[in-house]
Amino acid sequence: MNRSLTLFILSIIICNSLFANTPDWGATGHRTVGEIAERHLSKKAKKQINNILNGRGLAMVSTYGDDIKSDKKYDKYYTWHFVNFPFDTKYETSKKDKRGDIVMGIQTCVDQLKDPNTSQEDKSFYLKFLVHLVGDLHQPLHVGRAEDRGGNDIKVLWHYDKSNLHRVWDSEMIESFNMSYTELAANSKTLSREQIKNIEKGSILDWTYESQALAKKVYASAKMDEKLGYRYSYDHFETVQSQLQKSGIRLAKILNEIFD
């Protein structure tokens, strides 16, 4: 192969790795949240959602927020997937990103869906985005530190492959578990009515602080360049599963309220 062609190919590989989209939870995580939520929807909500989404289920549309990242038209929503504010400070008094954040993004979706003047097309957009963002909010590192972009800059090895702490929590642990989203949803913990009620309690902000508290533990769980694998999943996969389940239950609660 001649030198300039080699350089050309190398530069493409480097550019791709530098600017690659960093998807969230990963498709399986997001779909699990959608599937769990689907199972907690009221009849009334299910009917209206079915109408807006043309028969597609919540699992099917849950990755929409990441799918649109490939279209420049949607660049303005980039900051809606996360929020970073210093640990042990309040979101309410923190400096906000002008472009918006996940707390504001979720609220906008809810407001738009409640507004009788929102068009069917916009309802579909905000509903799909809401399903995605409630998932993201429960990935602890989406309420992380700005300095390391929610753990994206904490490089680690996942088994023997290059990864980062954010990606381990978005997708590596889930993918390594090797279950489909329907299996993960079907095998989520059986909860009593009271336990579900407790999970449903609170506001979007309360759940943001809950994720931030978990994020602190996640940061303490791994060092730069550490090799993570079976032992890490053994210690942390329960938190992943519990966050996916909480997220699904809370998403259903929000949707049941909107479509009451």
Burial (0-12, 13-18, 19+ Cβ within 10 Å), 243:
buried
Q: List the interface residues with ligand ADE, window 42-81 (CB under 6 A).
A: 81
Residue closer to Zn ion by CB (options 46, 210) is 210
Residue closer to ligand ADE by CB (options 104, 179) is 104
Q: List the interface residues with ligand ADE, window 149-208 (CB under 6 A).
A: 149-150, 152
Q: Which of 45, 49, 47, 111 is nearest to 259 (CA)?
A: 45
Task: Report the partner that residue 144 touches, choosing among ligand ADE, Zn ion, none (CB closer than 5 to 8 A by kind).
Answer: ligand ADE
Residue closer to ligand ADE by CB (options 56, 69) is 69
Residues that bind Zn ion (CB under 5 A): 24, 65, 81, 136, 170
124: contact with ligand ADE by CB under 6 A: no
Residue closer to Zn ion by CB (options 46, 67) is 67
CB of 260 to ligand ADE, least distance (A): 32
Q: Which of 37, 139, 30, 126 is nearest to 83 (CA)?
A: 139
CB of 144 to ligand ADE, least distance (A): 4
CB of 242 to Zn ion, least distance (A): 18
Residues 6+ apart with CB under 8 A from 72: none
One of 25, 80, 82, 126 touching ligand ADE (CB under 6 A): 82
Residue closer to Zn ion by CB (options 57, 65) is 65
In the structure encoding, which two tokens stand for residue 53, read together?
A: 């989404």
Task: Report the partner that residue 135 touches, choosing among Zn ion, ligand ADE, none (CB closer than 5 to 8 A by kind).
Answer: none
Residue closer to ligand ADE by CB (options 127, 143) is 143
Give the residue at shortest CB distance from ligand ADE. 150
Applying CB under 6 A, the residues found at the interface with ligand ADE are 81-82, 84, 141-142, 144, 149-150, 152
